[in-house]
Structures are given as structure tokens and as C-alpha cells.
Structure 1
Amino acid sequence: MTGMHDLSIRSASPADLDDVLAFWKTSAEGASISDDADGIARLVERDPGALILAERRGALVGTVIAGFDGWRCHLYRLAVHPGQRRRGVGSALLAAAEGRFAALGGRRADAMVLDRNERAQHAWRAAGYGPQPQWSRWVKRLTG
């Protein structure tokens, strides 16, 4: 079994963007409207530390977007390669994201989790996150 000692966590650079897009096609649940080169490039340019990558022996095995708008911390696109799940990758990514938030002064985080993704819901609950029945997320698509 692969241990945590060979897992590295780092922020993405512009050179990583094509690899991230390809990774999400095999490892993320569903496509997002922002899953394109322009969307990720804008993210990395605006907030260089937001897209966090996990690598094992040079191969991308996980991602999370840890965005902070100055008011609230937001988690998106937590994805772990199917062959690497249940090996601590997601936990390491969330620890890195939460460390980033703490360093920025963030006090509350929310996570976007698909209702139909029960496996992800279980993982988020195990990490201490949970649905908030008093809140309803309303979404408006801003482009075509």
C-alpha cells in the first residue's frame, strides 16, 4: 500500500492547467461550466494559491479549489483519482485548504457537493462538513 510519505501537496501553476482539465474528466463527478482552460487560467491568475494539487511520484492524484473572497472560504472540485481513493489524498488536500484559509484569516468554509454524489457526501461528513438545512444555495448561470 502506498503511504503518505510519497504524497506532495502544492499550488497549481499555469503549466498544470491542461493536466488538471484531463484529470477532472476521469476523476471528478460531472463537468462544471468552468472546466475549461480560460476558467482555470483566470482562477490561477487571480488567486495563485487557490487550486491545490496532490501528486504521488509526479502523477496528479487529487485536486481541490480553496477559494477565499475575503469573507467566506469556499471549497470546490475536491477530486481524487479513483485508484487513489481511501488513501488519505482527500484528507491531505482538505488539510492544505483549511491551512490556507486559516493563514488568510478565514473563519467559515462551505463546500459544493452534488446531491447525487453519496460517496462524496460521506467523505465530506467524515471531514466534519455537513449540510445546512437552514441554507439553500441558489445558482445563476452567468454565461451562455
Structure 2
Amino acid sequence: MNDLVIRTATVDEIPALLAFWAGAAEGTSITDDPDGLARLITRDPEALIVAERGGRIAGTVIAGYDGWRCHLYRLAVDPEQRRRGIARSLLDAAHERFVRLGGRRADAMVLDHNELGQSAWLAAGYGRQEQWRRWVRPLDA
């Protein structure tokens, strides 16, 4: 795994990131568009962490920190490269970022039907909190 490079994303690779998520991520989000991704990278250039192997995106995670809470989104690994420690390397980088920023606990958004994702999060030491439910409201409504 010594050829795996962990780095932050750049605005230049937004099309490649969106294409990667279309094939490797579970589900889509209303923010999966060039403008949304550009806002993220511009506002917090260290939030979108990329694993790269051989000059190609092998995985991603968004490690968002709002000054109070640490949130993880878009943990995705190339289906052909899964089970090789890429997710673990991405989460290690995210956790290091959170600790450096003063974070005390990380949470992850995982779809209920995403059994593969749930297994990955469990393996990384995360557990479901049954007492919580996510409430959402689109801001354009």
C-alpha cells in the first residue's frame, strides 16, 4: 500500500471527483454538482480528502468540521480497490485532521440500506446511535 497517496482535493479535479462518486459512492446528494463541490473546497480546502493510486482517484472522504462537531461524508472507495485499506487510510487522515482542529467526536452519515458501508463504519470503530434520526429540509423549498 506504499503507493497510496493521501491528499486534499483541488477545484481542478471537480469533474473527476463527481465522476468517481457516480461509480463508487452509494446514492447521490443535492450537493453533488460542480458548484456545491467548488464551495466546499473553496471554503475549507482541507475537508475533501482523496486517496490516489497510480495518478487515479482510489477513494474519498469529506471530513467537515464546523468548529464544534466533526462530520464525515462521502466515504467512497473504487469498487476494484476495496478491502485494501484505502477507507482506513482515509479515515485515519480525517481523524488526524479532527484532532488537530480540536474535535472530540466524529459522526458519519450512512444510508440505512447501505450494508457494505455499515460494515466499513463498524470495522472503523463507529456504532449506530438508535436514539437519533436525521431531519432535513431542502433550502430551496
Q: TM-score, normalization: structure 2?
A: 0.98
AA matched with 1:130? G
Post-superposition CA distance 1:5-64 (Å, at most 9, x none)? 000000011111111001001000111110000000000000000000000011101000
Q: Percent identity?
A: 65
What SS does the aligned partner of 2:12 have? helix
* Runs of at least 4 residues off by over 4 Å: none
Post-superposition CA distance 1:81-113 (Å, at most 9, x none)? 000000000000000000000000000111000
Alignment of 1:119-134 (within 5 A): 119-134=116-131
Aligned to 1:21, which of 18, 21, 25? Answer: 18
CA distance in 1, matches of 2:10, 2:79: 23
CA distance in 2, matches of 1:94, 1:28: 16
Check if 1:30 corresponds to 2:27: yes
Aligned to 1:107, which of 104, 107, 111? Answer: 104
CA distance in 2, matches of 1:75, 1:40: 15
Structure 2: segments with no counterpart, 5+ residues: none
Report deviation, 1:143: 2.6
Alignment of 1:1-144 (within 5 A): 4-143=1-140
Q: TM-score, normalization: structure 1?
A: 0.96
Structure 1: segments with no counterpart, 5+ residues: none
The count of residues paired between Structure 1 and Structure 2 equals 141
CA distance in 1, matches of 2:7, 2:94: 10
